[in-house]
Structure 1
């Protein structure tokens, strides 16, 4: 059974990268375009910066282009967002509502360490 699962390690990693990038990019779309629902907080320098990182970084991670730096910046933004927004409400993510940012932080840190992998622009150009 394990050898069967080992055959799909690269594919499951690519799916993790793409789905995490899509979810992250959706937050940027929400902030800038009010889709699928209106963004309920006032836009300021911090939300513009976070939205830009979510939108552009998420797209780069999905495409697998400049994946390591984009994922590293997204990881750092998630950590900062966690501590500035959610960390003030207590230490525990379940209590302060920061579980999503905590997961994004560590998923993107993993992607920054691992690289783009298959199904990526970087993977296609490396073989050429």
Structure 2
């Protein structure tokens, strides 16, 4: 088997692994805001902007992690990260490395990609689609 054929065969699985890892990492930002786990990001009063961000990150991250409603969830989260970048990081400096907004950019474009390609073969979306 050629390298190209092997990589083409592994591509759908790699997509699912990417989705799982990104969803898990994203959820941690939300649980840190809402539940102070695995670390505390300070107290955030209910119904504030950062509290809503924590809700999106925790539950949207879980949807992405499990591959359930992957496309709409990822699209929403991509938008959240774009807003976060331009509201919080970009005013500090133009360069993401300087303004510490690299994670927001990574998440934004990864979620945008997932909103286009879906959750891959290891997703609840695929499982539910095959049951119909």
- Once residues 98 and 38 of structure 1 are traced to their aligned partners in structure 2, the CA distance between those partners, rounded to angstroms, is 19
Which stretch of the first structure deviates more once superposed, 87-96 or 31-40? Answer: 31-40
Q: CA RMSD in A?
A: 1.0
The answer on 1:101 being equivalent to 2:104 is yes
- Once residues 34 and 75 of structure 1 are traced to their aligned partners in structure 2, the CA distance between those partners, rounded to angstroms, is 23
1:20 maps to what in 2?
Answer: 22
- Once residues 54 and 37 of structure 1 are traced to their aligned partners in structure 2, the CA distance between those partners, rounded to angstroms, is 15
- Stretches of structure 2 that go unaligned for 5 or more consecutive residues are none
Deviating 4+ runs (over 4 angstroms) = none
- Show CA shifts across 1:17-60 (max 9, x none): 110000111100100111122213x5251111100000010000
2:82 maps to what in 1?
Answer: 79
- Once residues 59 and 99 of structure 1 are traced to their aligned partners in structure 2, the CA distance between those partners, rounded to angstroms, is 22
> Of the candidates 117, 120, 127, which is equivalent to residue 117 of structure 1?
120
Number of equivalenced pairs: 127
- Stretches of structure 1 that go unaligned for 5 or more consecutive residues are none
In the alignment, is the contact (CA less than 8 A) between 2:28 and 2:38 conserved in 1?
A: no
- Once residues 56 and 38 of structure 1 are traced to their aligned partners in structure 2, the CA distance between those partners, rounded to angstroms, is 18
Q: Normalization by structure 1: what TM-score?
A: 0.95
Q: Normalization by structure 2: what TM-score?
A: 0.92
